[in-house]
Chains A and B, each alone.
Chain A
Amino acid sequence: MDLLRFVTAGSVDDGKSTLIGRLLYDTRQVFEDTLASIERASHAQGLDELNLALLTDGLRAEREQGITIDVAYRYFATPRRKFIIADAPGHVQYTRNMVTGASTAHLALILVDARKGVVEQTRRHSALAALLGIHHVVLCVNKMDLVGWSEARFREIEEEYRAVARSLGIDAVTVVPLAALTGANIVHRSGELGWYDGPTLLEFLEAVQVPDPARRAPFRFPVQYVIRPQSREFPDYRGYAGTVAAGSVRVGDAVRVLPLGAVTQVSAIDRFEESLSEASAGDAVTIRLTDELDAGRGSMLVAAHDPIAPVDVVEADVCWMREDAPLAPGQQVLLKQTTRRTRAVVESLIDRLDVHQLTREPSPAQLRLNDIGRVQFRLMEPVVADLYEACRETGAFIIIDPATRHTTGAGMTRAAAPAAAAGAG
């Protein structure tokens, strides 16, 4: 059974919690004790019917203030698939939360209220999904009951959204009419939507195939940890443990160790007492090499003939997540990319994305909390990086504050200059 990860986004009051609650409830994931507790809470709120939104209720501060602070992860399974939902709250800290939720998602589920149609937040959420490399969006046109189940209204919203998606480069869009409150078209079909001949939301989620670009990308293996048992049974064992970030590798393949540059051969691929002949993207393995090399955590194995060269000037779209200080030119930061951590300096801020207008303002003085902008970094040591759209695993990095050690931002590599050309960078 495979796994689909999706992020949900919507603006305030468009029924996202009810939709997720309905998805869990109608796929029978809700246990009796949980149900009893939301029944009590629904009655306390003076409601006659079950408030399914309470199923996604979170921390005390959130209940007290009626807000959602943070991304929550929810799990459900059907006989066909297992699902992980990253539930990103719509209002407070929406950029930081949406970017976080989208970073591990295969597709985005975006909600609109059928009465309001495509609003500014719909464009913003879609733009963030596109920025994070999500090319599959399901637009859920919710509250169809409140527009008299009107096909004309649905088609109007669909057409408008398809134009928005096209302009953002989102190439796979599915639009589903539904009503989370009544459950129409979420798991079960409904007579009121007789004119709609597409899949229900769940049918779509169960069937959709999202290609993983990492599988087709060239081989990348960031060394995570060197395994040297030095035991009586394995006196000379030296293995490079890690997870294949992209592509695949076979025993006997010639590989290059970067940034060292040395070429050697894969002598074995181990996975706990088992010898594999091949490993591909996502596999956590231990690779042994024919030659003893000075490779360690942060080294990257690539195919011997792969022309990729380490870079030390990187241009990236950055989402700044620090509350108490902005990002500004001249600042020193730590970047963690794959298994490598390196010091870097902010050379320049190239532009800042206006998430309301979806335009880019050149040369901003700084990036503040929840700002997104194109930033040029100069790295103290060269790294092996791909462009984010070619390979998420090697194109993404996080920014760490050297003083507090907290994570302060996220970056997606959009351009990079080889180390040799750094002086000109």
Chain B
Amino acid sequence: MTAHAVMPVDHDPGLDLLEAEAVFIMREVAAEFERPALLFSGGKDSIVLLRLAQKAFWPARFPFTVLHVDTGHNFPEVIAFRDRRIAELKARLVVASVQEAIDEGWVQEERGPRASRNRLQTPVLLAAIARHQFDAAIGGARRDEEKARAKERVFSFRDEFGQWDPRNQRPELWNLYNGLHLRGEHMRVFPLSNWTELDVWRYIARERLEIPSIYFAHEREVFQRDGMLMAVSPFLPRLPHERSFVETVRYRTVGDMTCTAAVRSSAKTVEEIIAEVATARVTERGASRADDQFSEAAMEDRKREGYF
């Protein structure tokens, strides 16, 4: 793995192949759906998605609405980054707000020190898909992330309730993706299915993509919970024994502040991150996602409900 990391990224036929495959998938979505959306979180995977969309339709603008499900507990750096990138691309942005849904009373905020808005994203996402009549939503999920994702299709079928049923998925052969569906059903599409975490970072390096500053090592006030480093923030009340301290950290994934943990790191450049990822001994989600630690099947359960 280490040798892979030090290979020059400029001449990597593996990355060319992954890029061509993702561009093909993006174009299939544009051709087969009437109202496709691209899910953007500000995280590295969705940054790569935006780049691929930009490439697939150049010199035209990409024909997707960008959809961000905003928990209201995002890192401010990430929101600033999102707005800058959307303006550069002259894209259309729709923000589906979890805070608004709570204020309107159709989702209930969890209580207690371990409360998170992670699960609330699902009904808000499904409502946005219904309200805007999106018939496809492109996401940045990868099959190497998690075991429930290893069996995910590139075109993942969702029934009229937005649910993922592993027993009701369409066979997917060659590169012949079937986008046909009935009214009310929709498709989640994952152009990065065959990418690994390292591929994503190598692509970011090759394309010289800008990423939010929290991916790089910085000093932050954190506290330890369940073996993970959580940022001190007004959104995440601490338990009495949880003392805060300052640590040099970075984020391996970018999600809601209540469930995304930082890792100790001194990586200040993309190249240093690549070297770190290549020798990492803990999975990306294991190191930094409290939302996956609920049970063996946490991701599977959330996917069934209609999660990303």
Q: Which of A228, A241, A400 has the most CB of B within 10 A?
A: A241
Q: Could you give, for residues 204-224 of chain B, a 1 whenever the CB lies within 8 Å of some chain A CB and a 0 otherwise?
A: 000000000000000000000
Convert A63-77 into 0s and 1s, putting 1 for each residue whose CB lies closer than 8 angstroms to a CB of B.
Answer: 000000111111101
Cβ-defined contact, B170 with A406, below 8 A:
yes
Please name all residues of chain A whose beta carbon is closer than 8 Å to the beta carbon of B61 when the two chains form the complex.
229
B113 touches A (CB below 8 Å): no
B237: chain A residues within 8 A (beta carbon)? none
Contact B171 A273 (CB under 8 A): no
What is the minimal beta-carbon distance from A248 to any residue of chain B, in angstroms? 14
The answer to whether A70 touches B166, judged by C-beta atoms less than 8 angstroms apart, is yes
A-side interface size class = 35 or more
Contact of B59 with A234 in the complex, beta carbons under 8 Å: yes
Are B174 and A103 in contact (CB-based, < 8 A)? yes
Partner of A1, one of B14, B58, B182, B281: B14
Cβ of B264 within 8 Å of any chain A Cβ, yes or no, is no
CB pair A1 B144 closer than 8 Å: no
Are B60 and A228 in contact, CB atoms less than 8 angstroms apart? yes
Q: How far is the CA of A350 from the CA of B153 in the complex (A)?
A: 32
Is A32's beta carbon under 8 Å from chain B?
A: yes
Using CB atoms and an 8 Å cutoff, list the residues of chain B in contact with chain A: 1-4, 7, 12-14, 17, 19-21, 23-24, 27-28, 30-31, 54-61, 143-144, 147-148, 150-151, 157, 166-167, 169-176, 178, 180-182, 193-194, 196, 198, 280-283, 286-287, 296-297, 300
Whether B150 and A73, one on each chain, are in contact in the complex, defined by CB atoms closer than 8 angstroms, is yes
With A284-B19, A297-B31, A398-B178 given, name 16 new contacts (CB 8 A). A1-B4, A1-B14, A2-B14, A31-B283, A32-B282, A69-B167, A73-B150, A82-B4, A104-B174, A231-B59, A282-B20, A284-B21, A398-B174, A400-B178, A406-B157, A407-B178
Contact for B147 among A57, A336, A339, A392, CB less than 8 A: A57
Q: Nearest Cβ in chain A — how far from B279, in angstroms?
A: 10
B151 near A71 (CB under 8 angstroms)? yes
Say yes or no: B173 contacts A410, CB within 8 Å: yes
Residues in B neighbouring A237, C-beta threshold 8 A: 59-60
- Report how far A407 CA is from B177 CA in the complex, Å: 9
- In the complex, what's the smallest C-beta–C-beta distance from B151 to chain A, in angstroms? 5
Contacting B at CB under 8 A, from A99-118, are 99-100, 103-104
> How long is the Cα–Cα vector from A243 to B170 in the complex, in angstroms?
23
Selected contact of B27 from candidates A69, A104, A225, A405, CB within 8 Å: A225
A59 touches B59 (CB 8 A): no
* A231 adjacent to B286 (CB under 8 Å): no
Which residues of chain B are within 8 angstroms of A359 by Cβ–Cβ distance?
none
**Partner among B7, B24, B58, B151 whose Cβ is within 8 Å of the Cβ of A272:** B58
Contact of B4 among A2, A79, A283, A398 (CB under 8 A): A79
A31-B286, A77-B196, A225-B31 known; A405+B143 contact, CB < 8 A: no
**Contact in complex: A231, B283 (CB < 8 Å):** no
| A-B contacts, 19 listed (Cβ < 8 Å) | A1-B13, A33-B287, A59-B148, A59-B166, A61-B166, A72-B150, A74-B150, A75-B143, A227-B58, A231-B59, A233-B59, A271-B55, A393-B174, A396-B174, A396-B176, A398-B176, A400-B180, A405-B181, A405-B182
Q: A58-B147, A229-B61 are in contact. Are A336 and B178 (CB under 8 A)?
A: yes
A residues near B (Cβ < 8 Å) are: 1-3, 28-29, 31-34, 37, 57-61, 69-75, 77-79, 82, 84, 96, 99-100, 103-104, 224-225, 227-229, 231, 233-234, 237, 241-243, 270-273, 282-284, 286, 297, 321, 334, 336-337, 339, 392-393, 396-398, 400, 404-407, 410
Q: Would B3 and A231 count as touching, CB distance under 8 A?
A: no
* CA of A34 to CA of B176, assembled, Å: 33
With a cutoff of 8 Å between Cβ atoms, the chain A residues found around residue B144 in the complex are 74-75
B277 to chain A, nearest CB (A): 11
Nearest chain-A residue to B195 (Cβ)?
A75
CA distance A254 to B193 in the complex (A): 36
